[in-house]
Structure 1
């Protein structure tokens, strides 16, 4: 069965919108200037900056007489209270499931807050499994975390499993580089940004989850990246893997670009008719990719 893996923050869930909502609440509760929202979103770095750095800087900036534990607990409760999964994303997941795909989540972050998000929005019933970097002891882009995800989704990471697996995410160094290293095809959620990495590229790119799923369901003949890692062990116990290169030949890169140009228009039309998504609340740009310290 083909396998479709998703990043969590700013891919399946609009994490940055939830952060902005928490920051607005924080400013209001402490009688602080509403115009400082921009300061919070800048230092937040879409979740890539450690929470201790963000909250410690806020404590010093505003002279808050609160412990770091108190501020972190306030933050966790607040951001997760604002998190949601857009209906268009749910429809896309159901469409992939109906088409015969196994579904999984691969997230960098702390186990407790990421699991709370998954359970709060009801994603647990829509996917076959998930893996979170803290509990797995592996971070994207390490290929091992993708192999663990496959195993938990009922797809043994042996043989040609990678040729039947796609990864969807918004953070290139974690999601797309990880797919490249593992030999998976990928869809990068660009959120209006240009591609900036020189050493690797996604198989396809999309504006959001509905389009990404539509492209994947239509991309039967999309090129498969060259596998750069050794065959995965069937053991569920994590094992160390040496780092591998991200090199790809110019011919492969050109073929992927041509494939995307050829598939995208038809897939866009397919996605529009297949999913007919309800209007979703505006979602932001990038996802969290750190372990416990930088989880959203």
Structure 2
């Protein structure tokens, strides 16, 4: 099935769970295929999909397989004991042979061209890095992976990465080596290196801080938990004009743009409701958005040509959106 909105088109499929396997302590990999054997949507390193696990249970997971293999999609899921229930459902309820609804893929973590890459992964954050390493190997630039986790037994793919890429992969189990030494990794800015990092929020925050003096655009991170923002002012009301629909709608202080637009009958894709997945990305035709997402870079925020309707608001009295 293909879901169409006034903004763009996105694929939504009911796939077959071909295989569910344990990769490490608390980590399982799901291999999904099309029940009729049809090729699955194309994707590039850094992409993620939504797993629709229930009416109000939608979670995003990075694709960790081979983009050249259109017969399957693969994700690896960490059991989050203190999570909101998505990972527990995957671990405890999903079984081989089940049907799983999938939306996407979408990519806000694409691999840019660079003469050198430094990949930093924390725990399950290794998943989007795997296809990036495959791509880097094919392109030919220099690369290095520093991969941290609580213990070796919790670090999915660690053994195969170390064996396949001797000299390029540094494994750093916290119980053996302590926290990642970000000062030695990032203390000296490099002009020709793209840094890619995925992992828990504290690691991403620390890497952002360590890269403060690096060239603009050198750091690329992906978050599946919203970034803590201390500079968001109080929410105030404003108007949104929907250019395609011919509607002008008031957005009160206690409601999101997404809620108001959907209530008016304009369909907009949405998933996380937290400004992390990117599904509600919408073009801005006029006005100044108040970006409160965890996706856009500072350069993209300054351009203000797109915004994420689930969390962002407006600095101007009116926003004009391409809806």
Q: Taking structure 1 as the reference length, what is the TM-score of the superposition?
A: 0.32
Higher relative contact order (CA 8 A, sep 6+): 1
Higher fraction of strand:
2
Higher fraction of helix:
1
The structure whose Rg is larger is 2
Q: Taking structure 2 as the reference length, what is the TM-score of the superposition?
A: 0.30
